[in-house]
Structure 1
C-alpha cells in the first residue's frame, strides 16, 4: 500500500464497528454532591462580592468553602473561560480532562469540577444552570464544555504568524499574576485547561473536528457553583464574543461577564470540605499497605 492510499476495509468491518462501547469510568460510586443539602442554602445567601470582567480581559475572584458564585451574561451573548485554584495552594487546580472523563464533554447542574493529582477532589459543584434546557443539538453541540483548551497566543502565532495579546490564556495569566502579586511568567504554569462557560461546542460527525457555534446565552442567563473548598477563580471574557465566528478577534462583538459571590447565613449541617484523595504510593510513610 502506498502512503497516500486509503486502507482496505476488512471483510468484517461492520462487525467491528458494531462492538458496543464500555463506559471507562462508571460513576455510581462517586460521592453524591447532595444538591438537596446545599441548594436550599442559596435562598438566604447574601451577596458579599461582585466583579465585572471587561470584554477581552480577565479578572480573579475569591470564594470561601460554602460560598456560591454565579457567572452571568449581562449585556450580550458572551462566553467565558474559567480557571479555579485552591486558595491554600494554587498548584492544586481544576483538572478539566478528568472532569470530562467523569461527567462527560459538557457540564450542567449536579456535575463537579475536580482537581489535579494527587488531590483529585471536588473543588466546586454546579448548583444551577439556566442553559440546562439546551441539551445536545442536531450537530452534536452542547453548552459549557470541558473539551476545548483555551484560546492562546502560541497557537494563534502558529496558525496565523501574528501576535494577539488578549487570548484567554493571556487574560487568565495576567489576572492570576495580579491576584497573587507575581510576574506573569511565574503565573503562567498555573493556568490550565478551562471550563468554557456558555460556549456551544462539539465534534463534527464526519471528520471529528472540534467546532464552535454561536452561544445560545442571552443577558440574564447564568451558571452557579457551590465552592467545596476555599477557591481563587479566574474568568476571561473571550475575545471571540459568542464564538459564532472566530477566536481571538478585535472584530467580534464582545460583552462583559458578571461574577457574584454569595454567602449563606448558615453552613450546611454535617457537610465538610472534601479531603484530598487517599491514594498513597506503595512504600510511602502514609501508605496503608
Structure 2
C-alpha cells in the first residue's frame, strides 16, 4: 500500500465495492421507467420532495448551466442524513457514476448511489477543477453578512431551510451539501475555489434511492458562478441564474434483480461502556 493510497479501504467484494452491473442496469433502462413526479425549482429557491427506495431521481439543467446544493435525509428518521465528510473519505471529494452518498452515525449506510451523470467525462481541467463536489458547503446568509455586510435571504442555506419546513425540519437539520454541477478544487494555497459551471442545457445528474429518502435542493443564487459572490469583484448574479428540473422515476422490477435496501451499521453501539477491562 502506497502512502498516497486511499486511507479507507475494504477487501475485494467488501462493503465499499459497488455492483456496477446492477447500477448500470438501473441507469440504462430508460424506456421502461415510469415517471411518478416532476417539477421545476425556480431560480434562487429551494424545494424538498420524497423519493421512495428503489426509485431514481434526475436533476436536469433545463435552461442552461446552474449549480445546485443537495441535502438528503432518511424519510423516516431525519437524524440520519448525508455525511459529506465521510463520503469524501469513502468515495471521493468529487463524485460521479457508481459513487455513493453515505449517512451519518450511527446509521452509516449508503442513502443513494449515482446512476447517471452527463458530466462524467469532465475529469480534471487545466486548473484542477472537477465537478459535483463535497469539498465545500452551501452558501449562507451568516457568512454573506460577515463578508458583504448586507443581508440576503436567498442563499442556499435559507432556500433549504424554507424547503424542509413542511416536514417539520429547521435550519438545524440543514447540513453540508453535495454541490451538483459545480466545478471546484483547491488552489496552490490549499484554498477552495469555484469556477464557472461547465454544464449545458440538458445535462443531468441522477441517483438511485437505497432507502426512502427526503431530498431538498437549492438553486444557488450564484447561478452558474460566472459572477463572483464575494470579494471586491462581487456582483449581482441574477442574470446567470436558471431553474432546474426534477424527475422521479419508478424503475422496472427486472432492473432491481439482486438489489436489497442496505442495513444499518452492524456495530452494537456499546462504545466500551458495558465492559472496562482496565478497571
TM-score using structure 1 length = 0.85
Q: 1:235 aligns with which of 217, 221, 226?
A: 217
In 2 relative to 1, CA 76–270 (structure 1 residues): closer, same or farther, beyond 3 Å? closer
Q: Does 1:50 align with 2:35?
A: no
Which structure has the larger Rg? 1
Shift of 1:220: 0.7
Q: Does 1:202 align with 2:185?
A: yes
Shift of 1:86: 0.5
1:59-74 to 2 correspondences below 5 Å: 59-74=47-62
Deviations 1:94-146 (A, max 9, x none): 00100011111100001000000110100000011100111011211100000
Mapped to 2, the partners of 1:223 and 1:111 lie a distance apart of 12
1:1-289 to 2 correspondences below 5 Å: 20-28=3-11, 29-41=14-26, 42-43=29-30, 44-178=32-166, 180=167, 182=168, 186-205=169-188, 207-247=189-229, 250-252=236-238, 253-266=240-253, 268-282=256-270
CA RMSD of aligned residues (A): 2.1
Deviations 1:28-77 (A, max 9, x none): 53343323124324331111000211000001111111000000101121
User: How many correspondences in the alignment?
Assistant: 263
**SS of residue matched to 2:253:** coil
**SS of residue matched to 2:170:** helix
**SS of residue matched to 1:229:** coil
Mapped to 1, the partners of 2:208 and 2:271 lie a distance apart of 36
**SS of residue matched to 1:82:** strand
**SS of residue matched to 1:223:** strand
Mapped to 2, the partners of 1:27 and 1:201 lie a distance apart of 28
Gap runs ≥5 in structure 2: none
Mapped to 1, the partners of 2:268 and 2:89 lie a distance apart of 22
Q: Which moved more, 1:225-234 or 1:272-281?
A: 272-281
Deviations 1:203-224 (A, max 9, x none): 102x111000101100110011
Mapped to 2, the partners of 1:75 and 1:32 lie a distance apart of 36
Q: Which moved more, 1:23-32 or 1:271-280?
A: 23-32
Asked if 2 retains the 8 angstrom alpha-carbon contact of 1:80 and 1:237, the reply is yes
Shift of 1:20: 4.5
Mapped to 2, the partners of 1:277 and 1:116 lie a distance apart of 10
Deviations 1:233-260 (A, max 9, x none): 1000000011122238643410000110
In 2 relative to 1, CA 281–163 (structure 1 residues): closer, same or farther, beyond 3 Å? same
Mapped to 2, the partners of 1:27 and 1:73 lie a distance apart of 36
**SS of residue matched to 1:190:** coil
